[in-house]
Every structure is written in C-alpha cells, then in structure tokens.
A and B are shown apart, each in its own frame.
Chain A
Amino acid sequence: MKQPWYSFLYVRSPIVKISLAIASLLLMIVLFLFMGLIEEQRMEAQTANWIGREIEKGAELYANNCYNCHGVDGKGLPGVAPALHSKYFFTQRLKDIGWTGSLHDYVALTVAAGRPSKVQSQWAVMMPTWSQRYGGPFRDDQVQAVTAFVLNWEEDALKQGTPDNPDPWQPFLDAPSKATAEEGAAPAAEVTPEPTGPRPPQELFVSMGCVGCHNLDQPQTPTNRGPVGPNLGNLHETAGTHGMDAFTYVHDSIVNPNAYIVEGYTAGIMPSNFAERMSEEEINALVEWLLDPNRQR
C-alpha cells in the first residue's frame, strides 16, 4: 500500500494517543481552574454591565419621551413638571408623601401609572401613564430602564444645595408646608440668581417650560394638532387670523393665556404668571422670535 505524503501526520502509537488525551484533559482542568478563579469577578462585571446597558436604554427613552417636561438635565421646568435631578427628590420626597416603599418603586410606579389626577395640581401637564399595562407605550423592561436612568442621577443630585449648585426642586402647591419645611429643600425660585440682562427667546422658550406643550417644528392643522397646546410650526401664518394683529395675539396669549383659547383646548392649563417671570423686553423678543418664519433655535 502506497503511503501518501502526509502519512507522517498519522498517529499510530496508542501510547502517544493516550498521552495526548491526558494532556488534553490536563489542559481542560487548567482552563476550568482559570475560569473558576475569575468567575466571581466575571459575574460582577456582567451584573454591572447589564445595569449599565439598562441605564443607556433608559437614557434613550428619556431623551425621546421625558425631557420635554422634565428638562434635558432632569431639573424640571417651572410650571410644567418637577425636577428629578434634585437632592430633595432623592432625600426627602418619599418622607413628605409618606411612601413606605423604595424610591425605585416610587419612580417605577409613577412612570408606569402616571399621575392622572388634575385636582389642585400646579403642573400644566398630567404625567401620562407610560406602561403598556395601562395603555401607554412602554414595555415593562422599558419602565425599568427609565427608572434606572432617573435613579442614576443620585450621585450628582446629592451634591446639590450649594449656592452655585442649587437644588432645582419646586415645592408642590398641594403640600407646600411639607415640601418647604424640610432642610435643604430650597425652592428653585429663591436660589435662582436674577438674570442681569434680557435672556434670549430660545432660552426662555425652554426655561419657561413652553417647550413642554408647544411643538416648534410641527404645524398646527386640523389633522395635526398638538396634544396639550397648539403646535407653533406655522404660527406666523395663523396668528393673524384671530381678529387682531399677529403680534398682539401672541403677546396677549403669553401674558393672559385664558383670554383666547383655541377651539379644542382647555382653559387654565397654560400658566398665567409669565408677565411676572419675564420682563416686557423679553416677552416682546419672544413674540418676535415666535413669529419669525425662519426662526433659529
């Protein structure tokens, strides 16, 4: 029988084969020992990994759904929604409302079931129900992810309370004594330093909370209506159609929101204290900016 050229590869000796098998077994034992030694740390790293990934997912959900009302950095918008990135929220809130569970449960439940009541609320918008279980858009894992993201503010929030890093919490009107009686729960309005000059309209639109209810990009049409407040995408076209000139209409709507309610919207939702919170100069600039068809953001 002719031997092929690669015949030197054939292992014929049973002793060599058995030795190779024993070497393989030893190799496996070494590998298992190695894995066993690092297993504890690997599991820890994996645990942290999945928490980290959950926070990433939560951040994405927050950026797409929550920042309009709770603010890009979670510090809330006056009159729209409370701050979550707040020392008060992490230290006092549960005591004030008498919640006996964990903060995680409180946040998860609020995200899932919302705050449907409008009774005596100072907030312009209700917290919607976000969980699919109650008709919202989030799956359970998404509710958990948003909760993990909100709780991840804790480290930063606990550093608040200094003059250059104030607690942005705004006391609830329905429990003002509870909210303000606590140490370190200084309301945002008191510690926010007075601005030195007129603030730009772009900044006001966000900081005054307008952005929470009014969409700047979408036009307001019968088929495309803003859910809480009218869309402002085509304001320069529609503002002049209400029996007065466009500037007066927009100006009055900011200073005295209930003077003219667009059909289909409820009176009393839009805060009526903007004249106190902005100078006349600022309001005029804001109106002009809103009516500019090519407004820059």
Chain B
Amino acid sequence: MAVQPEIEKKSILQTVLDAADDVFTRLTAGIPAAEVRRMIRGEPPGRPNPRLKPHSEAFLLHIKPTYYHESVTRFTHTFRLGLLSTYLFFVETITGLILMIWYAPTPERAYADMIRLLSNVPFGQFMRDMHRLGAELMVAIVTLHMVRTYLTGSYKAPRQFTWFTGVILLVITLFLSFSGYLLPWDQLAFWAVTIGTSMAEAVPPAIVGETVNLLARGAPDIGANGLLRFYLLHVLFLPLLLFLFFFVHYYKVVHFGISLPSSEEEVGQDTANKVPADRRVYFLPDVMIDEASFLIGFTALMVLATTFFFSAPLESIANPQSTPLHTVAPWYFYWLQGLLKIADKTIAGVIIPGVLLVLLAAIPYLDRNPSRRARDRRVAIISGIVAGIVMIILSWMGTPYYAVQAAPAVEVVQELMPEEGAGLVREIGYKHLPLGVYDTREHPVTDDPEFNEVLHEFAAAIARYEEKDPTFNNAYGILKITQEQPNLKRITWEIYWVSPEGVEDRFIRTFFLHKDSLYWEQYGLKNFSFLRPATEE
C-alpha cells in the first residue's frame, strides 16, 4: 500500500476516485463504474468486451450464458416462464422459511399455530397468502412452461433429456404443492390429503399399495406421524430433490442454448449455439435488465394480488370423524378427481396417471418428426390441444357440479351457508341478519337489502331444485334467526317438501354466527370491513 507516492503522482482526489472505482469493480466482479454508465446509456462495449468478465469471476453469473440469440430474447418466444418458475421456487423458499418460525408440525399445535400466525404475527397473514399464491402460481407457470415447450417443438433433438428432467420437475412441483396442503391441519387439508394418499393404496398389487400408503401416512389414518412426514417432505426432501433436478435441467438449457424460433433455421438443424455476431444480445446489461425488471414487476403484481385479492383458506380444525360436504382436491388435481368419478380407483388413480406421465416424459423419443414448424406438426399440435381440452373437461368433472349432488334440500343450504368456507350468509355477516322467521311462501321483504338478497336466493334455489328434481315437490323453506347468546345468532334452515309418494319430508340444519366472525373466499376482493370502526372514532 504505497499510498504516499501515488498521491504524489496523481492528485489526492484522483487517488480517492481510483480507490472507489477499484472497490466498485470488485463488487461488480469486474465492471468499472464508467462501463456501468455506458451500459445504462445503451452504448456498445469496448474491445475486448469488459462485460464478459463477471461471467468468469462471479459464481452466480458463471451459470448464465454471456449472450443470447436476439430472437429468443423476445418476450413472446419463451414468455420468461422458465425463469419465473425458478424465481417462484425462491419466493416459496423465503416465505416458507419465515412461516416455519411460527409452526410446529403436530396435530395439537399446527392449527392453533395458523390462528396465531393470522392474528398475532405482523405480516403473518401476508406471508401465508404470498406462500399459497406462489405455490399455486408455480404449478400454473411450470405447466404453461411445458405447454410452450411443446407447442414450439423445443423438446426435439438435442433437447430430449431437458424435456425429461422438466417432466420430473413438474411432478416434484405438484408433490411439493400437495404436501404443503396438509400442514395447516384444517378440514380442507386433512380430507384432500386423505383422498390423495388413498390413491396410493390403489397401487397394485395390494401389498405394495398398502405399504406405500402406510409409509406416507405413518399409520392407517393420517395423524401425528402423517403430519410430520408430510412436513419433512415439504420442507426438506422435495425442495432438495427439486434443487438437484433444477440444476440438471438448467445445465442442459445452457448447454444446448434456448431453441430458436423454428423460422430462424432449416428443418433438422439446431443453430442455437451458433449465434452470428450481429444477432447477439449480451447478458450484461440487456438480458439482465430485462430479467430483473420483469421479476420485480411480477413480484409487485404478486404483492398487489396478495394485498387485495387473494387469501389462503383456513377451514375448521381437522376432524377425522366428519367429512365436509363436497370435499375437493386442489384445482390442479381436479382432473384426477374427475377421472376417479368415472373409473375405478386403481385405473383412474394409478394406471391412467402413470401411463400419462410415462407418455409425457417419452414424447421426445416418440415424436420422430424432425421439424419444429407448426405447419409440419399438425398431428402433434392438434393432439396436444385435444389433450388440453380433455384435461379441462375432466377438471370440470372433478368439481362438485358433476355427479356428486347431495339431496336437494342439503344442496340449497350448502349454496347459501356451506359447512365449510364462507357462502352468501356468512359474507354479509351478523349485522345483516335481522332476527325473525322468514317463510319463502310469503315472499318476505325486510329493510335490509343484503338480507333480502339472501331470502331471494333461498327461494330461487328451492325453486331451481324443485324444477330439476322430481323427488322434490311443493317445496318451501323457513329461515329462522334467533339470538342465542350475546353477539351470537342461531340460524335455522328448514326445508319442507313432498316426495313423489306424497309423503311430507323435511330437512333442518342449524348454524351459529358470531358478530366478530370473518369468513372469506380464497379468490376475490378481500374484506376490509374491520377498518370502518377506526375511521368512525
């Protein structure tokens, strides 16, 4: 450190500036401040290109290509879906780690921990909502990433193995999302996972299926052991597995380069790694600015959605003795639930998904057509679209609208006041439920327009089922609202009808609603009604 002679040679200011630039260059792994300025101004690099240095100096950048073909950097070529999947994995890791601070995976504590997180941890609900939103988005984005790769034919030689690892990543993503489902230990979690693991039981031969089921649940039924196992799968095993396969996948992507739009090259050729000098887009700064601004913008949208439109559900505490009406799987398994409704558990739950998975992974080895151009791949693209439509139909069949309708009277009450979740009555809440007895035959009208809506829906639902169901005749409903306790109302639904044999029948269901209870839907504008008292004060 010979500072003295240096100051003598240059001025003191210049020495300080040089030292500052030196520090800056170390921090940027090789790019001096003047070069950063030129980058931002969009000026070309000098020669030799100083912007390549970070790729050899910095660990995080050495896995990124130094330049891309101009045509693959266009947004509509890849939609940045692969980058987004990776990013969401990191979002999930960070939010998940924060959630782990307030969570213990035991049936005694898990659900109480959720309530504590929601009501006693600043930003606790935000973290939980963000984690849940990220999980659902990750499943959607990974799937869309696969669809894009399929439609552009990018799985073809030499990228067959990249596709194969991608299918494995899709499966791991689904399992990750599903294993996290159980952790809140509410009815939604418990029954979705009970159904999910019971499919493992259907694996033939019986001894294998039973063993797999027992290993997953840790006991014949899900309990403390099952929760611990799913927790460990969710926070340790599956993320590590995903991490491993991600790097295999990403190595292959960089190794072969992102496949060019098919119009850029001759059929059968792969010129992704032979980028002419005039078509090169350097990672630093162009692609980096593009990716960083894209991810920041996407994060802002996620935060916006979480603030106003997305709330992770939390139902009643898990109760192995009572299955709620209309138990559904998470939406990305609706198709499987739809299959299970039309076929046997072994066929629909094990054999068909297994064959589908093998077919999906084997697509690049089955599709011998060398062309990636859409007009040469009519069969592949049409069959892909047909498969997509079949998935959507099966998903619709997986919802309660298809083939699992209960008795009409039960369904009427379920529409207005479901056993779990919000429903119209809980959404308008305690203060919009005036005490009294309301008979649908008298078309009662009250002073409360929101409650009138409930009465109207009640009568309309009864009329609808009366028309649809021949066993449900001359039906009418009586809604009784009484004060059970201070701040607690008893809501009794009575539905009377006449069966085809002329026998009168009735259904009575009682619910309670407390003044302070807030019920919410997973998707939709959040309820900020708790803000009103503060503004009135």
| Chain A positions near chain B (C-beta within 8 angstroms) | 1, 4, 6, 9-10, 13-15, 17-18, 20-21, 24-25, 27-28, 31-32, 34-36, 38-39, 41-53, 55-57, 59-60, 63, 139-141, 149, 152-156
B44 contacts the other chain (CB 8 A): no
B363 partner residues in chain A, CB cutoff 8 A: none
B323 contacts the other chain (CB 8 A): no
B530 partner residues in chain A, CB cutoff 8 A: 41-42, 44-45
A63 partner residues in chain B, CB cutoff 8 A: 510
B288, closest chain A residue (CB): A14
Known: A31-B303, A48-B516. A57 touches B316 (CB 8 A): yes
Contact B514 A55 (CB under 8 A): yes
Given contacts A31-B307, A32-B303, A49-B516, list 15 more A-B pairs with CB under 8 A: A14-B289, A17-B290, A28-B303, A35-B126, A38-B528, A41-B534, A45-B530, A47-B119, A48-B516, A50-B118, A51-B514, A52-B515, A52-B516, A53-B517, A56-B513
B115 partner residues in chain A, CB cutoff 8 A: 46, 50
B518 contacts the other chain (CB 8 A): yes
Q: How far is the CA of A27 from the CA of B307 in the complex (A)?
A: 12
B518 partner residues in chain A, CB cutoff 8 A: 45-46, 49
A55 partner residues in chain B, CB cutoff 8 A: 485, 487-488, 512, 514
The segment from B71-79, B229-237, B377-385 that touches chain A is B71-79
Q: Could you list some 19 contacts between A and B, CB below 8 A?
A: A10-B74, A14-B285, A17-B293, A21-B297, A24-B296, A24-B297, A31-B300, A31-B303, A31-B304, A32-B303, A43-B119, A50-B118, A55-B487, A59-B485, A60-B510, A63-B510, A149-B488, A152-B486, A153-B485
Q: How far is the CA of A154 from the CA of B488 in the complex (A)?
A: 13
Q: Which residues in window 446-503 of B have CB below 8 A to A?
A: 484-488, 490
B123 partner residues in chain A, CB cutoff 8 A: 35-36, 39
B1 partner residues in chain A, CB cutoff 8 A: none
B303 partner residues in chain A, CB cutoff 8 A: 27-28, 31-32
Q: How far is the CA of A59 from the CA of B121 in the complex (A)?
A: 28
A57 partner residues in chain B, CB cutoff 8 A: 316
Q: How far is the CA of A45 from the CA of B115 in the complex (A)?
A: 12
Q: How far is the CA of A21 from the CA of B461 in the complex (A)?
A: 49
**How far is the CB of A251 from the nearest CB of chain B, in Å?**
33
A85, closest chain B residue (CB): B485
B279, closest chain A residue (CB): A1
**How far is the CB of B475 from the nearest CB of chain A, in Å?**
23
Q: How far is the CA of A248 from the CA of B118 in the complex (A)?
A: 63
Contact of A21 among B119, B120, B121, B292 (CB under 8 A): B292
Contact B516 A59 (CB under 8 A): no
B299 contacts the other chain (CB 8 A): yes
Known: A4-B76, A14-B289, A156-B485. A46 touches B297 (CB 8 A): no
B74, closest chain A residue (CB): A10
Known: A56-B517, A140-B108, A141-B111. A9 touches B120 (CB 8 A): no
B120 partner residues in chain A, CB cutoff 8 A: 43, 47
Contact B299 A38 (CB under 8 A): no
Q: How far is the CA of A50 from the CA of B487 in the complex (A)?
A: 14
Can you list, as one digit per residue, whether each of B259-293 has a CB less than 8 Å from chain A (1) or not (0)? Answer: 00000000000000000000000000110011011
Contact of B485 among A24, A42, A141, A149 (CB under 8 A): A149
Known: A20-B297, A35-B126, A52-B514. A6 touches B76 (CB 8 A): yes
Contact B488 A28 (CB under 8 A): no
**How far is the CB of A72 from the nearest CB of chain B, in Å?**
9
**How far is the CB of A62 from the nearest CB of chain B, in Å?**
9
Contact B307 A34 (CB under 8 A): yes
A27 partner residues in chain B, CB cutoff 8 A: 300, 303-304
**How far is the CB of A112 from the nearest CB of chain B, in Å?**
15
B289 partner residues in chain A, CB cutoff 8 A: 14, 17-18
B300 partner residues in chain A, CB cutoff 8 A: 24-25, 27-28, 31
B42 contacts the other chain (CB 8 A): yes
B355 partner residues in chain A, CB cutoff 8 A: none
B531 contacts the other chain (CB 8 A): yes
Residue from the set B108, B111, B300 with the largest chain A CB neighbour count within 10 Å: B300
Q: How far is the CA of A23 from the CA of B62 in the complex (A)?
A: 30
Contact B296 A25 (CB under 8 A): yes
